[in-house]
Amino acid sequence: MEGGNSPNMQLQQIPLATAAVSVQPHTDSFSYKENLIGALLAIFGHLVISIALNLQKYSHIRLAGSKDSRAYFKTKTWWCGLFLLVLGELGVFSSYAFAPLSLIVPLSAVSVIASAIIGIIFIKEKWKPKEFLRRYVLSFVGCGLAIVGTYLLITFGPNSHEKMTGENITRHLVSWPFLLYMLVEIIIFCLLLYFYKEKNANYIVIILLLVALLGSMTVVTVKAVAGMIVVSIRGNLQLNYPIFYIMLVCMIATAVFQATFLAQASQLYDSSQIASIGYILSTTVAITAGATFYLDFTGEDVLHICMFALGCLIAFLGVFLITRNRKKSVPFEPYISMDAMPGNSFEHLLGIGLHHVCKTCMTKGLQFSLTSKLPFPMVP
């Protein structure tokens, strides 16, 4: 009986095995290597982006009051910033192809840490040691917490990996968990948009939730596009799949609408509020989207999930403390600060006319990165 039943049982198990997505187990050492590569690329990219935007801002500030409104195009500082900006964006974009989405998204906190450090370095005033520590103690504590949170995220991040082929992405796209998630997200988005547009509910949480919901779709499509490009470079061409171009269009469209809502938020609220609340909401929603679409936490034990969640909470607290210590807005400051930022990384990379949309964001000192999808203050 056993010999007759075992072939039937094996035949019944074959469809299940073939229908499942080929996800590497988290015990595979190669998955840890890819996680490390992705995390390092993301950290490098965010650091370079912060430096680049502050270089461009420094170029604008030095030429403040010039009759030629585009005189900064003639400066080496501005062009150096543009080069570093493109390099950083490519680094963050590439990181999505190597590591799970849920690991890469929270690492956007590195931008806030870098901006805080750059702000302290470029302060003009000379403070006594006690006064300096008293003024910037929250920034130091926030940076420390954000670094600890980043370490926990990298150490206990999800290790599920799969090839970003057209078949796998299509399978994820039509899976019932993601379809249910999309239904819930669309309903919430429409309700928030109704209250925002029709009821004039201009609360910061509502506006940034709209940004976060759009951002979750942006990072999902960014990972798909970046992953398919990397797989194509490795020899398995994926650019002939229609799903690639669908994801590319969705990536650009959702990013543009994010910039629109972010510009509206920056007209109503302070950049420090937008940075901290936006980071928390966008990261939370993006991790949920990644866990639903790419099944990032499949096969992870409870300890790893809890430690990853703890790393997110610590990073959230660190970002909140850094932005809370920000100086009040002033019309003009001679050194790098969070205010009066004319440069725009988002506009440079997309190559479309978003200057009128994002100009307000930049004058509020916000960094809107194509690959991070999050608004960050430049420096405290």
Has residue 269 been placed in a domain? yes
Any domain includes 137: yes
Identify whether 185 is part of a domain: yes
Give the pLDDT confidence score for residue 69 in this predicted structure.
66
pLDDT for the residue numbered 45: 93
How many domains does the chain divide into?
1
Domain span holding position 259: 28-377
Q: What is the pLDDT of residue 127?
A: 60
Task: Look at residue 1 and tell me if it is in a domain.
Answer: no
Residue 363 lies in a domain: yes
| Position 21 in a domain | no
Tokens of 59: 């170029």
In a domain? residue 371 = yes
List per-block mean pLDDT (blocks of 10 residues) for the chain, which spans 380 residues. 45 39 47 86 92 82 71 81 90 91 91 81 61 75 92 87 89 93 95 92 92 94 94 90 95 92 89 88 93 88 93 94 65 37 39 41 48 49
The answer to whether position 19 is within a domain reads no
Contacts 24+ apart (CB under 8 A), 250-257: 250/217, 250/218, 250/221, 251/218, 251/221, 251/222, 251/225, 252/350, 254/214, 254/215, 254/217, 254/218, 254/221, 255/214, 255/218, 255/346, 255/350, 255/370, 255/373, 256/350, 256/352, 256/354, 256/357, 257/214
